Structure 1
Amino acid sequence: MPDPASYRPPPGTIPTGPGVYRFSDSHGRVIYVGKAKNLRSRLTSYFADLSGLHPRTRQMVTTAAKVEWTVVGTEVEALQLEYNWIKEFDPRFNVRYRDDKSYPVLAVTVGEEYPRLFVYRGPRKKGVRYFGPYSHAWAIRETVDLLTRVFPARTCSNGVFKRHRAIDRPCLLGYIDKCAAPCVGRVTAEEHRAIVEDFCDFLSGRTDRFARDLERAMTEAAEQLDFERAARLRDDLSAVRRAMEKQAVVLGDGTDADVVAFAADDLEAAVQVFHVRGGRVRGQRGWVVETEGGVDLVGQFLTQFYGDQAELGGAADAGGADSANPVPREVLVPQLPPDAGQLADWLSGLRGSRVSLRVAQRGDKKALAETVARNAAEALAQHKLRRAGDFTARSAALQSIQEALELEDAPLRIECVDISHVQGTDVVASLVVFEDGLPRKSDYRHYAIREAAGDGRSDDVASIAEVTRRRFARHVADVAGGADGAAGADYAAEGRSRKFAYPPNLFVVDGGAPQVNAAAAVLAELGVTDVAVIGLAKRLEEVWVPNLDGSAPDPYILPRNSEGLYLLQRIRDEAHRFAITFHRSKRSKRMTASVLDGVPGLGERRRSALVTHFGSVAKLKQATVEEITAVPGIGTATARAVLTALGVPDNGGTDEG
């Protein structure tokens, strides 16, 4: 454990102006990023008496081995640089405001010729407008089901759309008038786009106009004795009103605002945000994060959240307020942060117009802020109840592994390798990472094994050795490239990934003594001495340790009710799942390619294009000649030859469905 005094910079060398600083560990990995109005005053506080520091801060300064800083001209520049460094380095001791669950949104593909509506989770993409987030996917589907009576836009996938276009028959939604059926030409592309734009306008808050137009049209139809049309418009109006009721008006002045509230204790904080657009609550989000005393929760949250929102808005289509202006006109917070003026200037720069950052004092806004605060308090209470048992179990599991294996420290980072193949073919490996007893999926890796066994059969021992060598050769190279000094500065300036510069405390292989010895031999060859290696055999769940001296020690037998054994089994099973998933994908593509060998006019590139386009033999068998010819380079004759090779009868290029 580094002594903070060993890397403390002389006080006189630290500038007194504003800037951003970062702490790095002995492997060069950035573990904390912060900003300060006065760098000397802030950094000096970290090297005070350790007993007076918050436990999380004390752990950070004793884990770090170096501190660096960058001086900037203004506090607004410091805000931007701090946000950029947190995004680049993902420091483990920084508070990261990630959603406590994945929120679904309603996506509209305005970039397509025939836009469609669908439920979506994931990163934002260009050419798509997003509405939400919603608490549940069913809430989106219920809203779409109501509104497609009035705005019959298509909701089908591109594959379904192409199929019904080919057979010239609409789907069920087209028959019941909940889709305008552009696939069969009932409406033109321009008419369908107009329907979608009206749908987007409605969700953007321009709802009253549609209700008035429907009511006027219904009255006119009744006066003209067109009672069938009047009844249909009556039903449409009812659907619109039910959708409007779901978006209750909370601020009568049509305010665009985000209302933020916090509930915190000494260890964790819950954050709730209500997104109010046009006076109506359009969405709600929640986070629960680890924190420490004295941290500016409001300032940290606003920097990270709206920085991320601005990036997402830049990746989305510029049409509409939902994507083009992710920062609202007004942000209501429980108390102003110390640098409120600089934050307001920064938010205004993100929005492109003035943003008001203030505390709600009276009236409807104060009442709404209190409601959001109650939601935050409830979220923290529920989180404590839900995670208390889980946190205790994870701590007990890590301590159990440390004691059973006689490790110096608890294995806070564990990596596990598993091999997957079928009789020696398509051999792949997976590497999964757990930190603090929880999966860190961003660090997962999979490998295609390069070295084949000489007898044509699978050699799990050689495969384990290869994966271990490739993983830790990368680690050794990263450490050499990121050493202290000029090389380290260049390494950071290039923005290269440092994930593998951070070694695990424990390296687990799926297998017994031969696999463990193979991994240990590779580590010894590479000079890696600070990583413990074990193997977990499936049959009796024995834990094996290396025995490179030729002795044959007995394996460790952890109690069947041991939390440590449960955790090791979970990590091993996760590695197995990840390896199987990759193996099936690779095998499916290989089998597709092998079935297509020898098809006239189908070379390696066209075969690869078919495999990539359809993904599997089963999907390719279901395709029509027209769908196959949609792949670049595939003609009608070649498409028929492909279907013949797959045993699909020639249907003359049509699908009688």
Structure 2
Amino acid sequence: MFDIQEELKKLPERPGVYIMKDEKGDIIYIGKAVVLKNRVRQYFQSLSRQSPKVQAMVARISEFEYIVTDSELEALILECNLIKKHKPRYNILLKDDKHYPYIKVTMFEEYPRVIMTRKLEKDGSRYFGPYTNATAVKDTITLIKRLFPIKSCNKVLPRDIGKGRPCLNYHIYQCLGPCSGEVNKDQYRELMKDICNFLDGRHEEIVKKLEKQMKDAAERMDFEMAAGLRDKINSIRHISEKQKVLSTTMEDQDVIAFAKGDTDSCVQIFFIRGGKLIGREHFIFEGVGNTESRDLMNSFIKQFYSSAAYVPGEIILQEEIDEMNIIAQWLTGKRTSKVHIKVPRKGERKHLVEMVSQNAGIALEQFKEKIKKEENISKDGMEGLAALIGLDRLPCRIEAYDISNTGSSEI
């Protein structure tokens, strides 16, 4: 039996997605949280302050699950896809992810621009996002224009170079003034590469540069400039985080990892489709405490993909498995196109594997607690039965016979 109050105590202080279920096990609500522990607890505290809809939903909750993610933005994307998949009764369908805003750096142009868009195109541009809302994108673009001296006017370059005088931003050092012709396109593109690095999260060099400028300004006793630079540094450090789950290459991937206990193990698989984390499954293997990890994974992959309706182009594993090449060939045949099996050592894929492994560990602990509770329930039932029929000790075996088809004459 699922003890909601006990499970609430075990919620992690991590971002993620929570899934509410009714007594039939049907999903009735899916939500996201910056801190799972705080958000899920709110549903079961001070119900009188909740809306009638929330009160009705909470009254039907019999159990809940959750998926830990690395950021709120990851939780948002996952929440959106899970709601589209399960259509829970108490959810309002969120907008499709194709409407999410992105930052676009038009690197295919001679003088690139930094703009907001809601459409991904294979046009040579660099895309960053998705972001939670348009305001986040606009704030980030505004910050970029404060940190980097790029043009913010509507002049079309190189067509308008030399036409008219540079604007005020050029004279207050907020723009290099490419419209004046004093900056060649290579210099300007180098600046745009710095912006791309900044949006990629590789901004330590930028921070160091600003810190040096801030120190120099303070030594000159130009405290106003130093304060402005300080604010820029703080803005960089708090800029909206880059979403890891979505890939502009739109790849399909399965990420598989496991967690091992003394006697049981859990294998977890996350499904990434079109670059989006859309769901997951976990499988419990009982009595495999002494089994080697590579043997467990090898067995799982064969069993799972033998009946899988779809095989993605890339399968990412936590550890290497035996017969990796032959299994890849087998899966390539099922897919009818090349399948790659990879074991990442660093980078984004490695981070994804770690996230899946964390969720496998959570699922394994939940399974252990469920078994323990079932054993306690069985023991309590046996003790009650023994007391009821006057047994001196608990029975070791109980037999039952179905006599529904023998007729009343034979009872």
Relative contact order: is structure 1 or structure 2 higher (C-alpha 8 Å, sep ≥ 6)?
2
Q: Answer yes or no: same fold by TM over 0.5.
A: no
